[in-house]
Amino acid sequence: MEQLTEVDNTFVQMESNRTPMHITPVIFYDQSMAPGGNVRFKDILEVFRCNLHKSKIFRRKLTGGTLGFDTPYWIEDADFDLEFHVRHIALPHPGDWRQLCILMARLHARGLDMRRPLWEAYVIEGLNEVEGLPANSFAIMLKIHHAAIDGVSGAEIISAIHSPEPDTPLPTPDDDWQGEAPPPLREVWTNAYINNLKRPVRLITTVSELIPNVRKANRLSEERGSEEHEVSRQKTRFNARVSSHRVTDTLVMELPRIKKIRQCVPGTTINDVIVTVVSGAMRKYLDARGELPEHSLSCAAPINVRQERNSESKGNQVGVMTIDMATDIEDPVQRLQAVYHNSLNSKETSQVVGTGVMMDVTRSLWPQFANITIRAATLAADRDSLPMPIHTVISNVPGPQAPLYLAGARVHMLMGLGPLVDMSGLFHAVISGMGLISINFLSCREMMPDPDFYKQCLVESYDELEQATFLKEKPRARRKKKA
């Protein structure tokens, strides 16, 4: 039995029919190398069955609520049923990319059963007409609740069901596993009483450490002065209450070409290039509707604060950095340069304040108070008079570059979908792997009724940036001297 952390508990409390709080990696496979060139569903079930012991996430569920006075507990589910969690479906006719996007959006919009282990896997067949995929491909869409993983620790599940070679034998299933009974109510409430005695002391310590850091950050901002780029706090169409309907699509790029783009501006990172592509797309999309703010939009970029020596620590280990996206700059190279400098400033500020400051504050609050605060902040932000700190989320998770296999089928491409919440109705999940990098956007259907157009904006933004950096890099031809 293990108690849920306060940070992870916020994701449980934010769960609703409109805002399911799961992360969804989508993995595409080429089964031409599998025995007989075909992977059967029972083979995939066996892979999961033989690897359940590699991650606690697979078989544990939540229990032991205390009406918000403390966080619930993870216990091993004595009624665990693998075939409930691993499901087999086929892509509806006509089986093309658009139909796949519709299917992924619908599956992602459905919440998980919070009474069971918080994950589901959909094995999707019928992808023969999907452009860009090898013939006879299939996909696995893996939904995992954010309370169970963050973007980085999610690699644990992905690595658990894959092997580095196509013919690696399956491990022996763990026959010693046993389910657990829910903890006695007396124990749950006793722990809640003790934990709530500790929280005020923890809060005082956290605030006392935070105040001088905030002062340092303010001085740093004052020193930058006019160098600071003016950021819009105006709401966009994506800063509103989300519905239960989702739309999604993906831009897939070659990783070496992204690396070539960043070489144009010394010091830039792959993430800077991605932010520049997204900012160009949002600029185009909003400008086409006459909704582009005069000043720049900003994005929230989750960052990993999981220390190497503590990589197996409990719960989510993630902070958030806010980046000015320079959407008020039309020239793509100049925008990339601005994003690079803005990212450096944001990193410097985050290091001064502390990248895990929100985690520390959340751990110090009573769960019931934290839940009320989150709901109150969301309702307050819905008022037009209040400023908007972010306009989208861009989550960049590096994936595996070395080949991976499942039941002999080779991983061809990875994608992903993130959660939407009120006031944040546009999410960009960026995943790299197998020499490719994808920008997978997710939005509310009412906010983005035309995902095809936003996909076009992403494509045009990327093409313009690549072309501009190519022209900047290309040396001028020398003129021949006259005889």
- Using CA atoms, how far apart are residues 219 and 227, in angstroms rounded to an integer? 14
Q: Which two tokens stand for residue 299?
A: 């994005």
**3-state DSSP of 324-336:** ECCCCCCCHHHHH
**3-state DSSP of 160-173:** HCCECCCCCCCCCC
Q: Which two tokens stand for residue 427?
A: 């999410």
Mode of pairing for the β-strands spanning 426-433 and 392-398: parallel
The residue behind tokens 């503590």 is 310
Mode of pairing for the β-strands spanning 436-444 and 246-254: antiparallel
Determine the residue type at 122.
Y
Determine the residue type at 69.
F
Catalytic residue, candidates 22, 85, 145, 146: 146
- Using CA atoms, how far apart are residues 282 and 298, in angstroms rounded to an integer? 11
Determine the residue type at 190.
T
Backbone angles phi, psi at 209, to 5 degrees: -80, -30
Mode of pairing for the β-strands spanning 318-324 and 298-304: antiparallel
- Using CA atoms, how far apart are residues 72 and 374, in angstroms rounded to an integer? 18
**Side by side, which strands form the sheet with 409-417?**
86-90, 119-125, 137-145, 22-30, 409-417, 405-406
Whether 229 is a known active-site residue: answer no
CA 17 to chain centre: 19
Give every CB contact of residue 215 below 8 A, 6+ residues apart in sequence: none
- Residues annotated as catalytic are 146
